[in-house]
Structure 1
């Protein structure tokens, strides 16, 4: 048998036997029982709030059930009333039910029938108690909710609204039709007084079974300048699959929108500063991949942002020699060790290197976790080159001063030596062996004189007198000056390229020295038959138009160990010479703003490549 929850029952019965019988039955079922013999005795109590059920005799000495029921309903509105009658009186039962009775039962009372009726009352009251508790919870939630909540029926009339509605949207009465309250929640454009006609009201969509979720709208109140941003949620209320109404919730997100707008402005400002910064700005993930790459970095490196985003910074931009060292610097930065001032080269898309000095800062999220490294780099390539040129100039000036002093001090000695050699030659004209020794002394003295002149020429400042010239004419003239060296040999000079007569703003005398030196070295290095090829082409590096001149020969070539050193002062692979020729050539080309290097000749032979800006004089 189903267990019936215990009830607090008041029995109002004037018959003692019936009263005792009812008490026994009820107490046997663990109900709490109170009794009264008359209406007056019953109404004299003050604990009506605890009474769950009342068993009322149809006829009492001092009144009838029809007269007492309205009074009982007032003092115990939640108590169920069962009328007990001794005879079948259908009309009386209907009258009692009309006056507020819950049920009726006939005498003599059947205990099982009574238990059934009380069990039904207990179940109903238990459900009612749950509903009351739920209603209290809902009421408390509505009253304390910061969101505006509106419940409407299927016609859009207001059934319920909470206090937040008036604060956020405006005053709203129960029963208000949609045309009255709907204007309060209309979506407006934030910068205009007109409604946003592109948006259909959330209520209309909810009543079509189209839930509205977190839709952001700008809602204006009736007062001027009182609009607020709202997040709207709306959904239908369905009973057995039939739409009975809808619930609409407005959440004030004005502060959030203001914070988002402020954050957007700050982000736009930061983005603008990053893009406008005259420095390399790179944002790296903790794994060293490129996340952000500003315009200056694009212009400096030649890589567009979309080409490097997501790529490994070290493998993409650093020369191989620096990768291990800079990865270690990056690791220390992630460990929040000071690494500002670190310098390294980056390799541009064209293959050139730029020297960058970095300032690094770790970036953290709201939880304090490191999410990346912001690297700000200053390009000091030009400064470094200027410093190197200044240092080089100081060294050259020192060499020049030393050579000038040496030449001054040695001039008299050389002149005396020269005079003595000439006089000695006159005295030993008839002695061939002595004449041979004098010639060797003369050659040594001439070599010493040329050595002084070469060093003095290398140390002297280079002053250019530029004019627009045909490069081919310059190297042809240099080749003609070398005729004593190639005349009578199997030598061929070949010109190639798009247009051999390319024009360039150069100093023809100085550039002639360069070509003379290169061609002379080629003639010295090659054995017959000699083939020397000179080619001139137009190229572009980082958007700058240049002329590229390549001189190739079919000699033994330049080994990897000599490629850079051949341009060092006093370095030579020949048995004769000072080793200053290519060093002077580099100074002349760099004075023109160009570059000279040993190229990678295809097959046998050496290649010297000159790159010159194709500018105006």
Structure 2
């Protein structure tokens, strides 16, 4: 290992290339807030802006509990003691009228009496449950999937035959049948490999093409009177993902949103895309941070997920649908994790909307 002298660093221990304290704080993947002796926010890093949905300029000068409260009474009581340290796991906060589950720490500063550093790290719903648990719980569906392949082949053959006999204007529907059968067959193969450790092969992918293909599939199956709209950022670069897997994830999310929104008189589902830029979402994968700046959000104005199930929606066999199998979101979680992405959900209490947020990595230059 090169010595400090050889590397050009100051032998006194100061390394001029070392990032500043501000740069280190800005690079943290969890939210950090500095509060003064009156519990007013004095500083906020990028991750705090991203999590709380408020810019640092608007956070600074406001009471902490006005931003994240009300909290569990026990946590609020502890926070009232400006000299007390605190570690609170899996508590609920309100961020811009959206309820989030977070781990919270409070660290009093010995150099400044009653000043504290607050950290917040979101409890990722997609992280609950191990791959081993998922693999074992998916055993029965995998066996069932094997039995589905034979009738799928017959459906595909019928679709091809219909394509030859239908008028030209109707051939598109027949091609959709064969395309969907092929996609389902690939999905079945993937279900049989849910317990596998290797990830699906990823490649540069246009996220909007995958979204539009998913929307077309859902519309072909019927919208149940629900309006499905797009709000795209046309400048988004390609993501690094498996196209089939991404399309399947989106079909599941949009279908669930459609079903939820159809319970109301004016059901609406909106699919948005955006680049998070400096507020890039980060997730820990295999011991390293993965930047996930591409965000795809599927929102619906339905009644929301049953609070009793809200924390377990990505687990296998958890569903609120009478005829549901509880496999859709478990599969979504697996496919997203295989793409080194992140999937989470939240309920916007004020707007009465449910959001499923998908974050994906960028395709690196030269991979296109």
Tell me the distance in 2 between the aligned counterparts of 1:475 and 1:277: 36
Residue 328 of structure 1: which of 64, 67, 77 is its match? 77
The 1:583/1:541 distance shift into structure 2, 3 A limit, reads farther
Equivalent residues in 2 for 1:197-276, closer than 5 Å:
none
For residue 319 of structure 2, what is the aligned residue in structure 1?
572
Deviation, structure 1 residue 579: 0.7
Q: Secondary structure at the match of 1:517?
A: helix
Structure number with higher helix proportion:
1
Counterpart selection for 1:507 from 236, 242, 259:
242
Quick one: distance in 2 between partners of 1:501 and 1:311? 35
Q: Which runs of 5+ in 2 are unaligned?
A: 1-18, 148-187, 281-292
- Give the equivalent residue in structure 2 for 1:284: 36
Change (3 A) 1:305 1:510: closer
Aligned to 1:583: 330
Equivalent position to 1:358, from 106, 113, 121: 106
Can you list the C-alpha shifts for 1:480-506, whole angstroms capped at 9, x where unaligned? 6568844xx987875532457955312
The one of 548, 558, 569 equivalent to 2:304 is 558
SS in 1 for 2:130: helix
1:373: which partner in 2? 114
User: In structure 2, do the counterparts of structure 1 residues 585 and 289 end up closer, same or farther at CA, with 3 Å as the change threshold?
Assistant: same
Q: Over aligned residues, Cα RMSD in angstroms?
A: 5.3
**Equivalent residues in 2 for 1:393-542, closer than 5 Å:** 393-397=131-135, 399=137, 403=139, 459-461=195-197, 463-478=199-214, 485-486=221-222, 494-498=228-232, 503-505=237-239, 506-521=241-256, 526=262, 533-540=269-276
* Contact 1:534–1:552 under 8 Å retained in 2: yes
- Verify: 1:315 aligned to 2:66, yes or no: yes
TM-score, scaled to structure 2: 0.52
User: 1:585 Cα shift?
Assistant: 1.6
Q: Give the whole-Å Cα distance in 2 for the aligned partners of 1:603 and 1:288.
A: 28
In the TM superposition, what are the counterparts of 1:87-106 in structure 2 within 5 Å? Answer: none
Question: How much does 1:394 deviate?
Answer: 4.3
Q: Distance in 1 between matches of 2:142 and 2:274?
A: 44
Q: Corresponding residue for 2:285?
A: none
Secondary structure at 2:45 match in 1: helix
CA contact under 8 A between 2:230 and 2:272: conserved in structure 1? yes
Which residue pairs with 2:294 in the alignment?
A: 546
Q: Distance in 2 between matches of 1:484 and 1:356?
A: 45
Summarize the Cα distance change of 1:457–1:342 in structure 2 as closer, same or farther, 3 Å threshold: same
In structure 2, the CA distance between the partners of 1:462 and 1:319, relative to structure 1 (3 Å rule), is farther
Gaps of 5+ in 1: 1-271, 364-370, 415-451
**What TM-score results when the alignment is normalised by the length of structure 1?**
0.34
Q: CA deviation at 1:463?
A: 1.3
SS in 2 for 1:301: helix
Aligned length: 277
- Pick from 358, 361, 366: which aligns with 1:611? 358
Q: Quick one: distance in 2 between partners of 1:542 and 1:521?
A: 31
1:392 is aligned to 2:125? no
Q: Offset at 1:392?
A: 2.2
